[in-house]
Amino acid sequence: MSFPTQLFINGEFVDGVEGKTIDVFDPHDGSLLATIAEATEADVDRAVAAATAAYPEWKAMAASDRGRLLLKLADAIEANGEELALLETRDTGHPIRDSKGLDLVRTAAQFRYFGGMADKFQGSVVPVDRGFLDYVVREPLGVVGSIVPWNFPMMFVSWKMAPALASGNCVVMKPSELTPLTALRIAQIADEVGFPKGVINVVPGFGPTAGARLVSHPGIAKVSFTGSTPVGRMIASQAAANGIRTHLELGGKGANVVFADATIPKAVGGTAFGIFHNQGQACIAASRLIIHESVVDEFMEKFLALTNSIRVGDPKDPNTEMGPLTSPMHRDRVLSYVEVAKEEGGTILTGGKAPSDPALLNGCYVEPTVVQTVGAVRVNQEEVFGPFMTVQTFSTDEQALQIANSTEFALGGGLWTNDLSRAHRFARDLDAGMVWINSYKRAHPGSPFGGMGASGYGREMGFEAMHEYTEAKAIWVNIDADIPPFYPR
């Protein structure tokens, strides 16, 4: 299959100024998938200049026309769905059934939602003193920098690009150097459907060079970053020093609480999806199972049986249910937490190693792993970001809440109960930006996504995202107010 491998700047695919390149590998077998152009500081400067030049025209374009282009892009993504899904699978290790059935669907849905939102995002009128009209309009920020992680690269392109474009901003996007291919292909598709040159720019590169320049460039109005908490804090500091606002969607350590009255089969299935989908490489993964002591044996018998039946293998095989992790470095990091768990007295209930299948030996595979733990040990506090779930038990609702809220992260969490009063009460008191009741890891373009505390600030999706990419301008009109002179003479 062919796909673009150069930088996308001002509507054209170009090599980097310094001629540097990055090798991109297939995580299934370690083979070379592509060699792409590497963006350096000078390339980010070129991209920002192109976006800055395009901004006045894009801002002035009728919102309905911007919306139509986003809708055309959504249609074109679906029309090229087979190609995009396979490209995502080869680049990331996502099983093809997930790339087609979830990632592609959510990507198109995001562009379609904000395509419809573009001309429906309203201002407001403020009741002020008689004789005056005070109305508030929302204006785009200008040129927005977007830094996209490697775990859901295609989907996150749409999460960041769609609301920014719908609200009239131009975009300079830095996808991860590990998984840049679908971002470049979507930029190509956007050009094909008629987006003006310079409105969208995609510059894959490394964080210390391209990323650092993006978050310090005087032409950038805002940086939206999704990634780890340590990197997010560093970006916030660098951006603040240059007067650039930030939106950070960072790490998580999702609490998944199963009460004694839960419907166990549904909780088992939802928990498995919550932790093992995309090999656990999700900030909202259900990485901490917190379960009532009276049902732990019944639940774990069913859950471990399901876990051990998950089909791990080549992500291009439609029967595969779990593929490889995205890079060798990350595979090794996840496996290192198995040793940490053992040192802390944890019990490995299943998994904890790479699969023994000879066909998978060259890939970045880790078996679905479940660890019994007690207390605030590292594996219950730090984000592992892999197919790695810890298990803790509780006896009272108060104890469950204390365990659930015992980390610095506050992104997402779930609970399973048939007691409606308990469900609402617990959801209210759970420290999380998103809570799922009798489900886990649901998302929709209209529902705000984001966290608090060490999980960041700001929201993706919904009307909240349009606020993230615009600012309020208050306009006062004197209709018939008689203003006495302030300095009478």
Return the structure tokens found at 428. Answer: 């209210």
Which H or E element spans position 464? helix 462-468
Which residues are the active-site residues? 249, 283
Q: Which of 14, 11, 12 is nearest to 39 (CA)?
A: 14
Q: How many CB atoms lie within 10 A of CB 384?
A: 24
Q: Which long-range contacts (CB under 8 A, 24 or more apart) does 292-295 make?
A: 292/258, 292/259, 292/260, 292/393, 292/394, 292/395, 292/400, 293/393, 293/394, 293/395, 294/260, 295/258, 295/260, 295/262, 295/264
Could you give the CA distance from residue 139 to residue 209 in angstroms, rounded to a whole number? 31
Angle between the N-to-C axes of helices 153-166 and 104-117, in degrees from 0 to 180, rounded to the nearest 10: 0
The residue ranges of DSSP E strands in 317-411, in sequence order, are 347-350, 369-372, 388-394, 409-410
Q: How many CB atoms lie within 10 A of CB 42?
A: 14
Could you give the CA distance from residue 289 to residue 258 in angstroms, rounded to a whole number? 8
According to DSSP H, which parts of 170-226 are helical? 181-193, 212-214
Q: How many CB atoms lie within 10 A of CB 377?
A: 18
Which residue type sits at 350?
A: T
Could you give the CA distance from residue 61 to residue 74 in angstroms, rounded to a whole number? 19
Alpha-carbon dihedral sign for residues 94, 95, 99, 101: negative
Q: Which of 185, 157, 190 is nearest to 69 (CA)?
A: 190
C-alpha pair distances (Å), 136 with each of 198, 474, 478: 29, 4, 15
SS3 assignment, position 347 = strand
Q: Across the strands, what pairs with 146?
A: 173, 224
Largest CA distance in the chain: 94
Strands 412-416 and 124-126: unpaired
C-alpha pair distances (Å), 474 with each of 124, 133, 390, 428, 482: 9, 10, 50, 34, 21
